[in-house]
Amino acid sequence: MVEFLDANVVWWYWIIIGFILLILEMNTGTFVILGLGVAAVIVGILDFIMPMTFLNQVLTWIVLSLLSLWAWKKWVKIPIVSNTGQSDHTLDTYGTVSEEIHPHQRGKVIFDTPVLGNTTWHATAEETLKVGTRIQIQEVNGQLISVRAV
């Protein structure tokens, strides 16, 4: 079987597989398949320059794919800000205190842009925040937002 693959899998098969994976990536938008497709194209180019056995081609593709996945994970490192399971993509959102907040008590804030679909939220803080103080989200805890002064 390996002899059959060595004789029949030529360099341009890898390039076609790579382009198919790149087209699939355009439809998913996850960037995971992108590395696999680029790795396949690189294997095709390497096999064209210096012919390899099928086993070496597959091993090279696996190594390049793992390297691309590792680089993607390292490059796109999203810091975990909240462990509550809530979306934390808007933690850089600014707002204004609309009802005074005392330490470890609730007050109200109005955000410049909606946070989880709403602009007005109950919030807590570790310090007293007067009405009109500019704030930033520190953490999202369920239906309560912890804020700090900017």
Structurally, at CATH architecture level, domain 94-149 sits in: Beta Barrel (2.40)
pLDDT per residue over 49-66, tens digit each? 999 999 999 999 999 999
Compute the radius of gyration of the chain from its Cα atoms.
26
Residue appearing with tokens 């009109």: 132
Residue appearing with tokens 């239906």: 143
What pLDDT, on the 0 to 100 scale, is given for residue 80? 56
pLDDT per residue over 117-149, tens digit each? 778 888 999 999 999 999 998 888 777 888 999
Q: What's the predicted TM-score (pTM) here?
A: 0.53
Domain boundaries of the chain, sorted by first residue: 2-75, 94-149
